[in-house]
Amino acid sequence: MSNLWLDLGNTRLKYWLTDEVGQLVTHQARQHLQAPAELLMGLTDRIERLAPEFIGISSVLGDQINASVAETLSHLGIAFEFVHVDAEHRLMRSNYEANQLGVDRWLQMLGVVDRKKRQCVIGCGTAVTIDLIDHAEHMGGYIFPNIYLQRESLFSGTKQITISNGVFDSIAPGICTQDAVHRGILLSIVGAINEISQRHPNFELIFTGGDAPIIAQHITRPVYIRNDLLLEGLGRFFHDY
């Protein structure tokens, strides 16, 4: 039995096809430009060729867009279901307000949670999310704008700083405005993570998301980078629910 796992994020539509034992067969990621239902409609022929028996969906895009996505998928004749956050899921209990916990953030945690461990899961996507899990109990966490959103906010809020290019490659002091901006933004996130790490020294640090390698290299403790935690969380949600 093959499954298609569909992730509707803030900027990208991603899917993974896994086989009967959960191994990845194929995957794709496309920018949806705030029109995921239209993009998905263009992918329906490909999905039909992949012939999954089930489609599991993670979406942060709201009820209206989800309804459009559901209508598009309904024409395929393939069973599908949207993930909902369950604060009492058998794999992990959460103390967070369930109706305010993003499904993508929750699935990232579900993809790695281990009852034998204390864990700090750091998602490096459109937002930087930091979540603390104590032996499969979600204690809560923190949310930051990512490095690019911080840069955009700085440029839109100041008249004297107009540099919009540059790289986030160091936290050493900058000797020009371009470097000072990029290194200051990166340091703000790195410093926060290092502070949380010091406050919770027995928590394993797990990074995921596209910007994980940029940030993780500056952390003062050993870290683990796990790609596609949301994929793993989708599989665990539907197999262990």
Among 82, 105, 130, residue at a domain's last position = 82
Q: What is the token pair recorded at 37?
A: 């239902």
Q: How many domains does the chain have?
A: 2
Kindly report the pTM of this predicted structure.
0.89
Active site residue 63: no
Q: How many CA atoms lie within 13 A of 48 on its CB side?
A: 11
Residues 125 and 69 both lie in one domain: no
**Same structural domain for residues 225 and 143?**
yes
Asked if 144 and 74 sit in the same domain, the reply is no
CA distance linking residue 51 with residue 189, whole number of Å:
42
Q: Is residue 24 part of a domain?
A: yes
Residue 94 is assigned to a structural domain of this protein: no
* pLDDT score at 164: 64
Residue 93 resides in a domain: no
Whether 135 and 35 share a structural domain? no
Let me know whether 156 and 71 are in one domain: no
- Cα dist. 174→33, 58, 157, 179, 214 in Å? 34, 40, 21, 5, 17
Tell whether 103 is covered by a domain.
Answer: no
Contact between residue 205 and residue 122 where contact means Cβ atoms under 8 Å apart: yes
Residues 125 and 194 occupy one common structural domain:
yes
| Low pLDDT (below 50) residues in the chain | none
Q: Are 141 and 201 in a shared domain?
A: yes
Residues 118 and 70 in one domain: no
- 121 and 208 fall within a common domain: yes
Q: What is the CATH number of the domain that holds 122?
A: 3.30.420.40
Q: For residue 120, count other CB atoms closer than 10 A to its CB.
A: 22
- At 98 the pLDDT is 84
Per the structure, the complete domain to which residue 185 belongs is given by 114-237
pLDDT digits (tens, 9 = 90+) for 6-65: 999 888 888 899 888 888 888 888 887 677 888 888 888 888 888 999 999 999 988 898
Regarding whether 220 and 132 lie in a shared domain, the answer is yes
pLDDT of residue 118: 98
| Residue from 45, 63, 86, 104 carrying the catalytic annotation | 104
- 168 in the same domain as 224: yes
At which of 60, 82, 104 does a domain end?
A: 82
Within 10 angstroms of residue 159's Cβ, the number of other Cβ atoms is: 6
- In terms of domains, do 128 and 205 share one? yes
